[in-house]
Structures are given as C-alpha cells and as structure tokens.
Amino acid sequence: MSKNQYYTVTLIAAASLLAMLASITLGYNNAKARAEVNQRQQFVQQSVQLEGLYKEIVRALAELGARNNDGDVKAMLQKNGITYTANAAAPAPPAAGTGNPAPVRK
C-alpha cells in the first residue's frame, strides 16, 4: 500500500467516524426533542379535557363576585384577562292590586 493510499483510507475512516458521531448526536437530540413534544402534547390534551371545568369555575367566580360586589374577585379575574359586567337587577313584579284593572262592561 502506498503512502497516498494509506492517507486516503485513513481520511475516509476519519470522515466515517465523524459522520457516525454526528449521527449519534443527532439521534440523541431527536429523541430528546420528541420526548419534549410528547410532554407538551400530553399537557395540551389534558388542558382540553379540563377546559369545561375551568369555564365553570370562572363562571362561578364571576357570578359570586358580581352577586357579592367583591372587588378582590373581580381584580383577580381581570388580572388573568377575564372581565365581566353585572347585569342590572330585574325589575320587581307589580304588587297585587296595582296591575291592569279589570275591563269595564257597558
């Protein structure tokens, strides 16, 4: 084997070794990234499942805050980007005897 052939084979072997190390490193990083994506996906799926419960909790807090005129609850909800307005109280029904009079017969 000549000197040039020796150096060529050695260079090819070194390049192959570097390619193998790069492949191992990329495979490890890929597995790590997949694990992170799977973890985030699981979090998103669990969040979707709990979305209805979260809405009910927020609705209940808003109703209690509006009913009791609780500024702390309203401030906490606003801090988290949730605003609400209290509906005006419904007018009271007319008292007995003050409604429309009976039609008069002629």
Residue-level pLDDT at 69: 85
**How many angstroms separate the most distant Cα atoms in the chain?**
134
Residue-level pLDDT at 74: 87
Identify the residue whose tokens are 């084979």: 9
In the 8-state DSSP scheme, what is residue 96?
Answer: T
C-alpha torsion sign, points 19, 21, 23, 25 = negative
Structure tokens at 8: 């060529």
Q: Each residue of 36-84: pLDDT tens digit?
A: 999 999 999 998 889 889 899 999 999 988 888 888 888 898 898 888 8
Q: How far apart are CA 35 and CA 41, in angstroms?
A: 10
- The answer to whether the beta carbons of residues 83 and 77 sit under 8 Å apart is yes
Q: How far apart are CA 58 and CA 85, in angstroms?
A: 13
Amino acid residing at 57: I
Mean per-residue pLDDT over the chain, rounded: 85
Residue-level pLDDT at 65: 87
* Residue 94, number of CB atoms within 10 A of its CB: 9
